[in-house]
Homo-oligomer: A and B are copies of this chain.
Amino acid sequence: MIQMERTKIVDILIAPEVGSDVNIKGWVRTKRGSKGISFVAVNDGSCIHNLQVVVDHQSFDEELLKKITTGASVSITGLLTESQGKGQSVEIQAKEILLYGEADPMTYPLQKKGHGMEFLREIAHLRPRTNTFGAVFRIRHHMAIAIHKFFHERGFFYFHTPLITASDAEGAGAMFEVTTLNIDNPPRHEDGTVDYSEDFFGRRTNLTVSGQLEGELAATALGAIYTFGPTFRAENSNTPRHLAEFWMIEPEIAFYDIVDNMNLAEEFIKYLVQWALDNCRDDLEFLNNMIDKELIARLESVVSKEFKRLTYTEGVKILEDAVAKGHKFEYPVFWGADLASEHERYLVENHFKTPVILTDYPAEIKAFYMKQNEDGKTVRAMDVLFPKIGEIIGGSQREESYEKLVRRCDETGVPTKEMSWYLDTRRFGTVPHSGFGLGFERLLLFVTGMGNIRDVIPFPRTPNNADF
């Protein structure tokens, strides 16, 4: 057996040493034959491209060659040569083939033919072996790396907020309960109610819907932080845009006002999209060809344009004008309404033809912690609206006045006693501060062009689905 160190296919293709022996290890994607010769396409997951292996039947055992089928795993050593065929620049003339594992063509689900997304979701444990999901998950990796790099370079600290929390005050959405009680027969008080003091944490707990409040604790100590972790919503939403478990990025920055916050958000998302264009070109080109023909053009457009900034009130006026001119929306438009995705996309795609940042939303449709404007009606919220996606980032300057915040808690039913740890940030050395949240999978929908959020996370959790 020839002993050679394995080279990843991505590295061979970046700097091919034609005329040298190489060893690759990976999985067979296809095999086609032609009088005494087989062409075996091997992929090792390191990039979208396969490396073609030319196998002279005379040099190998017939039984071995039979087992080289789609999905089989192999180690191949041979001479790297310039390719005679189309579609690849280099190929390997096989000298040695080691078969690690077969993939029975009768049962292996990923045969050559294309598969529907729905079918691939059912075999989510195998779909990373396809071109599309290989590309999506490599881009997912790159976006995560770019997020850390962006914040690290700017002196933000990555901060881990808790997943299990007893705080249920934010009201951001329905929650999952976390328990070690025996649900069939929980301990009970004398009056018959469940005795949560026997639960693991001695109280009711649930999975977090946002790390923001804890993020504010950190920002008012370390100055600038960001979270990047899983977040949960127990909403029974069976849509292509909702997951029960998803990842969120939430920067929070002391001494930032709403303008600083908008500047950061715009710089951030342009940085991420530019990173994808610079570092994921092959995968993006594949997705551009196979999934969304306008993908790369849309990404390039976003990084080149200045985002349009206007108030919610101005935005509603534009939408009302559109309605007056005959544009039909499914949902009504009026000052005070929560904008629907169709409204957001109208502003972005039809009216301004550039991403939009809307600010100064009505207080009634926004969270209690947002900074109140002088007008007594609006808050210093900001939503970044994107083509195809609608809202991709939501954020605000936070209310730093203890008195105003407590009043707003009272008005909206937030229990100030349970939230005293949060209010302490305003009691002790309060500062102006701001932050926002980016749904990681929303970003990935935009960057990959995929149409369903279940296809940009490895193992989607949705109503009635927690497989794998």
Contact = CB atoms under 8 A, between A and B. Distances in A.
Interface stretch (A195-203, A263-271, A338-346): A195-203
A152 B145 contact: yes
Interface stretch (A175-183, A293-301, A447-455): A175-183
Contact of A178 (B207, B255, B457): B207
Interface string A212-229: 001001101111100001
A164 B461 contact: yes
A123 to B, nearest CB: 8
Interface stretch (A86-94, A390-398, A422-430): A422-430
A372 interface: no
Interface stretch (A76-84, A95-103, A309-317, A321-329): A95-103
Contact of A421 (B28, B125, B163, B184): B125
Nearest to A178: B176
A177 B201 CA distance: 13
Q: Pick the most buried of A128, A159, A193, A234: most chain B CB atoms within 10 A of its CB.
A: A128
Interface stretch (A136-144, A284-292, A356-364, A404-412): A136-144
A459 interface: yes
A387 interface: no
What is the count of identical protomers in the complex? 2
A458 interface: yes
A186 interface: yes
B431 A465 contact: no
A132 B26 CA distance: 48
A430 B137 contact: no
A467 B166 contact: yes
A230 interface: yes
Interface in A27-68: 27-28, 44-46
Q: Pick the most buried of A6, A103, A157, A422: most chain B CB atoms within 10 A of its CB.
A: A157
Nearest to A139: B157
A217 B128 contact: yes
Contacts of A424: 125-126
A155 B73 CA distance: 20
Query: Interface size class for chain A?
Result: 35 or more
Contacts of A421: 125, 467-468
A458 B161 contact: yes
A71 interface: yes
A439 interface: no
A45 B221 contact: yes
A184 B179 contact: no
A222 B137 contact: yes
Contacts of A239: none
Interface in A1-38: 6, 8, 10-11, 25-28
Contacts of A232: 163-164
Given A148-B148, A183-B194, A230 B167 contact: no
Nearest to A465: B201
Given A167-B468, A200-B176, A466-B164, A431 B101 contact: yes
Contacts of A26: 223
A158 B144 contact: yes
A129 interface: yes
A458 B46 contact: no
A184 B194 contact: yes
Nearest to A163: B230
Given A46-B223, A140-B160, 9 more contacts: A6-B255, A103-B427, A125-B425, A133-B221, A144-B158, A160-B230, A162-B458, A184-B186, A201-B464
Interface of A: 6, 8, 10-11, 25-28, 44-46, 71-73, 75, 100-104, 107-108, 125-126, 128-129, 133-134, 137-138, 140-141, 144-145, 148, 152, 155, 157-167, 174, 176-181, 183-184, 186, 193-194, 200-203, 205, 207, 214, 217-218, 220-224, 229-230, 232, 234, 236, 244-245, 247, 254-255, 400, 421-422, 424-432, 457-459, 461, 463-468
- 5 A-B pairs with the lowest CB-CB distances in the bound complex, closest first: A101-B430, A128-B221, A45-B223, A45-B222, A73-B429
